[in-house]
Amino acid sequence: MANKINMLKTMGFSLHLIKKILYEYDEDIHLMKFLNMQAAQLQEEINEKQDKLLLINSMIKHLNSQKDASKYTVTVKKIPQRRVVYLRAQIRQYQDETLLWRRLSKIIHDQNIRLSYPHFNIAVFHEEDVQNQKIDVEVQKSISGDYENLQEANLKISKEQTVASFIYEGSYNKLSEVNETVAHWILDNDYELNGSQFNIYHISPEEANESADLLTEICFPVKKKMHRIIKQSYRLYPYISVNQLS
């Protein structure tokens, strides 16, 4: 009996409540049912508090991203259509992107491929498989001329894209944080993603003397959210029914 009392005290029950519990649940099987009910109720309270904590942390993160967004000038612009030579492969980590650039540069040099101006040194991040440590990356440069017998690389026409763009100066160690900031900007400004995110390397590691000199344009292909377009149409054509706006 003393052992039960000590355990119930440790659980946070008052002496008055312990006395009542032991009186009403005098057999172990009844006490066990009571404790199971208490455990379920406590677990429900814990789950509710965890959900609230997630919401609080999410709000803090969002407010920080809005504060950080003021440091960047995000613009919506068009990246023109261009003819590109490219390599696409799966790499294990983002640092391995350098290997693809080396391969592409060698192919361009060995096969006398003429680059157009601007070069549009672009890395497209198609997909990331975290579980299998695979990142689907495509590196490309814009070119002039046609090359029918190209070996080891591919050619294509990269179509014009509307993007949310911003220029980032400095090392790459904060790119994930910056990407998240711009993702919030896209949501807050009634846009949605419309393709794979890509980087334009205006000053790459090959050209920069130190990391502070790196200049990267982060681009997210976007389009206006459909509900926004419909509502704008409604203002122009008020005979559209309200049900069509949902």
List pLDDT tens digits, range 17-32: 777 777 676 667 767 7
Does any domain span residue 42? no
| Largest CA-CA distance found in the chain, in angstroms, rounded | 93
Place 239 in a pLDDT band, splitting at 50, 70 and 90.
Answer: very low
Assess whether pLDDT exceeds 50 at residue 232: no
Looking at the structure, do residues 86 and 157 belong to the same domain, yes or no? yes
Whether 29 and 80 share a structural domain: no
Is the pLDDT at 83 greater than 50? The verdict is yes
Specify whether the CB–CB gap between 182 and 166 falls below 8 A. Answer: yes
91 and 3 together in one domain: no
Residues 133 and 21 in one domain: no
Residue 6 tokens, joined:
């000590």
What is the pLDDT at residue 241? 38
Residue 94 clears pLDDT 70, i.e. is over it = yes
Does the pLDDT at position 233 exceed 50?
Answer: no
Quick check: is 219 in a domain? yes
Residue 56 lies in a domain: no
Question: Does 121 share its domain with 218?
Answer: yes
Domain hosting residue 31, numbered range: 1-35
In the chain, DSSP assigns E strands to 75-79, 82-91, 122-129, 134-142, 154-158, 161-169, 191-193, 198-203, 215-224
Residues 101 and 219 in one domain: yes
Candidate ranges 43-47, 69-73, 96-100, 242-246; pick with highest mean pLDDT: 96-100
* Tokens read off for 78: 């068009």
- pTM of the entire predicted model: 0.64
> pLDDT confidence of 81, banded at 50, 70, 90?
very high
Q: Does residue 242 lie within any of the structural domains?
A: no
Residues 223 and 167 in one domain: yes
Indicate whether 106 and 156 sit together in one domain.
yes
Q: Are residues 13 and 85 in the same domain?
A: no
Q: Quick check: is 53 in a domain?
A: no
Of 229 and 183, the structure prediction assigns the larger pLDDT to 183
Region 105-109: mean pLDDT is 94
pLDDT attached to residue 208: 82
Find which of 78-87, 124-133, 169-178 is predicted with most confidence, using mean pLDDT: 78-87
> Domain for residue 103, yes or no?
yes
Q: Are 104 and 197 part of one and the same domain? A: yes
26 with 88, same domain: the answer is no
Q: Do both 91 and 193 map to the same domain?
A: yes
Tokens 């959210």 correspond to what residue? 225
CATH of the domain at 123: 3.20.80.10
Total of domains in the chain:
2
